[in-house]
Chain A
């Protein structure tokens, strides 16, 4: 099960603005606090932040809403974050602030069928992430065969993905994050 948090409605509830832009660090911090409260009241392992109907997002707000949220979630056991409805206008700011912190997140951009990694990702991590979206659940052997890698190389990439909460790990196997229906 996945928890969906619509950022545009949450913004209006949080800062009483007629606009749908995620701008300023203080707006971002207020919104993140609301997101954290919402996450803490639910038992879902995956939270989907829905950017649908969000206008633009600036760097300061992206830093608070996405980067600082991931830093906090990293302290919780097995909680995953997926970005949904991310438009071309949002990608640049989010990607950059995550890279700056050495963080990454899975995001499903508007009009794309599969998620991609935003933020920091080594070439192996990026390739393995894409492959897992195609292959579905599996293990290092299966991924290695698919990409023509040794099992060790595939296992390293999978471990990096799991540590970054970009895939879910379960008893030696891995599976992609659940996507919205």
Chain B
């Protein structure tokens, strides 16, 4: 059986390594080896679940998943809810506590499935009190900005239901980005195993775009030009608003779909605005990063 190593640190930048290891889709049976993994961002964890979900939906055999050797890493992944959901999607190899317990204090929202609009309402309802307290005390977001944060979360979760054609996952966490930013950040990670932006927009946009049509062009239309597959002018606004809020907060959004990734890049980051011809990864992944606000930052 093929063994695919999960990067030691799994996050938005290293997901491409994992995708490269998986290779062409549908993949041959494999064992996902997270034995040496010591850290994963919420983005990394929801992406792993998406991989398991995509295998399941493609009616492929469940992949085996070797859990991290580090007890600390395993404990954290249990507490954020990863093993609870992963045990349905992978054949777990190694000891892991499957039931989530004692959510860590920096987790605003443990990994939560989004399968219907009701799930979005529940997420929004549940997160508000905790989010407002943590966002105010740790990220220094004003109460009005906290409401915008929750609206952002709502819109990005709805994108799963409206466009993916299947369910997905969301998680929200704060952590300290010492090297990259020197500030605390709050991160929303969303991933779904759905049809992706290219297929969602293909029927209405592919002919107009012509030869350049692909994952990158579809992401550009959705994120930069508010294009939706619906003709109603009220549609396609979710990502537009997310973008405008993030500009105000010097935040970052990065969306990966299929073989491309697009990002609104704030001054503190050096990601390319558009990366194409990446190794394929199923579905779509969104990461929103909002840095702690400092005195004088507009909100």
**Chain A residues within CB distance 8 Å of chain B:** 15, 17-19, 21, 23-27, 55-56, 58-60, 63, 67-68, 88-89, 92-93, 96-97, 100-101
Interface stretch of the complex, out of B105-113, B144-152, B170-178, B259-267: B144-152
* Across-interface contacts of B238 in A (CB, < 8 A): 59-60
Are A100's CB and B162's CB within 8 A?
no
Are A68's CB and B125's CB within 8 A?
no
Q: Can you show 5 pairs from A to B with CB atoms below 8 A apart?
A: A18-B125, A24-B120, A58-B158, A63-B237, A68-B234
Q: Which of B154, B161, B234 contacts A100 (CB 8 A)?
A: B234
Q: A67-B234, A100-B237, A101-B234 are in contact. Are A27 and B121 (CB under 8 A)?
A: yes
Describe A's contact surface by its main secondary structure: helix
Are B234's CB and A23's CB within 8 A?
no
Are A59's CB and B121's CB within 8 A?
no
Task: Say if the beta carbon of B155 comes within 8 Å of chain A.
Answer: yes
**Can you name the residue of chain A whose Cβ is closest to the Cβ of B126?**
A19
Task: Say if the beta carbon of B124 comes within 8 Å of chain A.
Answer: yes
Are B117's CB and A56's CB within 8 A?
no
Task: Say if the beta carbon of B241 comes within 8 Å of chain A.
Answer: yes
Pick from A24, A25, A55 the residue with the most CB of B within 10 Å: A24
Task: Say if the beta carbon of B298 comes within 8 Å of chain A.
Answer: no
Closest chain A CB from B13 CB (angstroms): 30
**Can you name the residue of chain B whose Cβ is closest to the Cβ of A16?**
B118
Are A97's CB and B237's CB within 8 A?
yes
The 10 closest A-B pairs by CB, nearest first: A19-B125, A63-B234, A26-B117, A24-B117, A58-B154, A23-B154, A58-B151, A89-B147, A23-B124, A24-B120
Q: Which of B118, B148, B234 contacts A97 (CB 8 A)?
A: B234
Q: Which of A17, A60, A89, A97 contacts B158 (CB 8 A)?
A: A60
- Over the window 117-150 of chain B, the binary record of Cβ atoms lying under 8 Å from chain A Cβ atoms (1 yes, 0 no) is 1101110110010000000000000001001101
Q: Which of A27, A59, A68 contacts B237 (CB 8 A)?
A: A59
Are A58's CB and B155's CB within 8 A?
yes
CA A19 – CA B154 in complex, angstroms?
14
Task: Say if the beta carbon of B94 comes within 8 Å of chain A.
Answer: no
CA A17 – CA B118 in complex, angstroms?
9
Closest chain B CB from A138 CB (angstroms): 35
Are B144's CB and A17's CB within 8 A?
no
Are A59's CB and B155's CB within 8 A?
yes
* Across-interface contacts of B121 in A (CB, < 8 A): 15, 17, 19, 21, 23-24, 27
Closest chain B CB from A134 CB (angstroms): 29
Interface hits, B177-204 → A, CB 8 Å: none
**Can you name the residue of chain B whose Cβ is closest to the Cβ of A102?**
B233
**Can you name the residue of chain B whose Cβ is closest to the Cβ of A22?**
B121
* Across-interface contacts of A60 in B (CB, < 8 A): 154-155, 158, 237-238
* Across-interface contacts of B155 in A (CB, < 8 A): 58-60
Are B125's CB and A59's CB within 8 A?
no
Q: Which of A21, A58, A89 contacts B125 (CB 8 A)?
A: A21
CA A93 – CA B120 in complex, angstroms?
18
CA A56 – CA B238 in complex, angstroms?
15
Are B144's CB and A56's CB within 8 A?
no
Beyond A58-B155, A60-B238, A67-B234, list 20 extra A-B contacts (CB 8 Å).
A15-B121, A18-B125, A19-B121, A19-B122, A21-B121, A21-B125, A21-B128, A24-B117, A24-B154, A26-B117, A56-B128, A58-B151, A58-B158, A60-B158, A63-B237, A68-B234, A96-B241, A97-B234, A97-B237, A100-B233
Are B124's CB and A56's CB within 8 A?
yes
Are B128's CB and A59's CB within 8 A?
no
CA A59 – CA B122 in complex, angstroms?
17
Q: A55-B128, A88-B144 are in contact. Are A101 and B233 (CB under 8 A)?
A: yes
**Can you name the residue of chain A whose Cβ is closest to the Cβ of B236?**
A100
Q: A59-B238, A96-B241, A100-B234 are in contact. Are A25 and B117 (CB under 8 A)?
A: yes
* Across-interface contacts of B128 in A (CB, < 8 A): 21, 55-56
Closest chain B CB from A56 CB (angstroms): 5
